[in-house]
């Protein structure tokens, strides 16, 4: 089985890289299983102070694997995505995401659950669920608190593409920089985080994340149930199958 998520450690930074081009780095069962394993490795390695999530290719993450969801439903998948967001938020080590290219739907949940997100100005984002008869239920746990209320309504109801520059203005990402400067800026931020004491990083992150963790814990079951219900609806299945059919043409 080809590895879909790579892992490396250098200079106190554990880099986790999505590399699943066949489905645009979608959150398939295999990708999520490997991602969890690498998060465990980073958490348990005393040499690691910072976790960096990035991706190969022109897509950071396209969201849920619709091929799996359309045939098998999202009952378990919704719970896994809740757990993933909580895992990122509660990690003892700062999580940084580097976003170049396209980021869609569930991928935006990873960005929102991270402590710091740096995007290329020309990166693109979209909450596309509304176009498939869905709603960003599970990722709303982390995405909506990052966005201003007006930006949340615009992006979730419209489902339209917005840029990295707009994502920074909306509050979704920490900072947007020219694509040519992205790697240098990510390296600079990771190096700065790496100067922190492990206890200081752990306790400060926990303090910052307290309200977000409470939101996840209080709303997770409702959002997972809503997501599973909508993914299992005839309307959404029809819309997803039509979308997958268009992609194959």
Residue 197: DSSP 8-state:
-
* 46 within domain boundaries: yes
- pLDDT of residue 68 exceeding 70, the answer is no
Residue 198: DSSP 8-state:
H
* 89 within domain boundaries: yes
* 220 within domain boundaries: no
Given CA atoms 29, 34, 39, 40 in this order, what sign does their dihedral have? positive
pLDDT digits (tens, 9 = 90+) for 107-150: 999 999 999 999 999 999 999 999 999 999 999 999 999 999 99
What percentage of the chain exceeds 70 in pLDDT? 95
CATH of the domain at 26: 3.90.226.10
Q: Where in the sequence is the domain holding 89, given as residue range(s)?
A: 5-183
What is the Cα–Cα distance from 43 to 38, expressed in whole angstroms? 9
Decide which of 1 and 43 is more confident. 43
Structural domains in the chain (count): 1
pLDDT digits (tens, 9 = 90+) for 21-56: 999 999 999 999 999 999 999 999 999 999 999 999
- pLDDT of residue 244 exceeding 80, the answer is no
* 201 within domain boundaries: no
Exposed/middle/buried for residue 171 (C-beta within 10 Å: 0-12, 13-18, 19+): middle
- What pTM did the predictor assign? 0.93
75-90 helix and 106-113 helix, angle to the nearest 10 degrees: 20
Q: What's the chain's average pLDDT?
A: 93
């Amino acid at each position: 089985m080809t590895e879909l998520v790579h892992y490396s450690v250098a200079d106190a930074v554990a880099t986790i890289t999505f590399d699943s081009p066949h489905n645009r780095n979608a959150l398939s069962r295999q990708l999520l299983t490997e991602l969890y394993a690498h998060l465990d490795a980073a958490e348990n390695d005393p040499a690691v102070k910072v976790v960096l999530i990035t991706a190969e290719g022109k897509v950071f993450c396209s969201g849920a694997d619709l091929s799996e969801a359309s045939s098998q439903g999202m009952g378990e998948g919704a719970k896994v995505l809740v757990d993933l967001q909580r895992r990122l938020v509660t990690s003892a080590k700062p999580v940084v995401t580097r976003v170049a290219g396209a980021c869609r739907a569930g991928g935006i949940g990873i960005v929102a659950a991270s402590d710091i997100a740096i995007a290329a100005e020309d990166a693109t984002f979209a909450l596309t669920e509304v176009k498939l008869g869905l709603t960003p239920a599970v990722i709303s746990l982390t995405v909506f608190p990052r966005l201003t209320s007006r930006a949340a309504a615009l992006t979730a109801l419209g489902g339209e593409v917005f840029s990295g520059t707009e994502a920074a203005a909306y509050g979704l990402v920490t900072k947007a920089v020219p694509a040519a400067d992205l790697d240098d800026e990510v390296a600079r931020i990771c190096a700065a985080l790496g100067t922190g004491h492990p206890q200081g990083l752990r306790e400060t992150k926990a303090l910052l994340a307290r309200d977000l963790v409470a939101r996840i814990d209080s709303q997770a079951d409702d959002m997972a149930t809503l997501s599973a219900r909508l993914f299992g609806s005839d309307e959404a299945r029809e819309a997803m199958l039509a979308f997958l059919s268009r992609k194959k043409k």
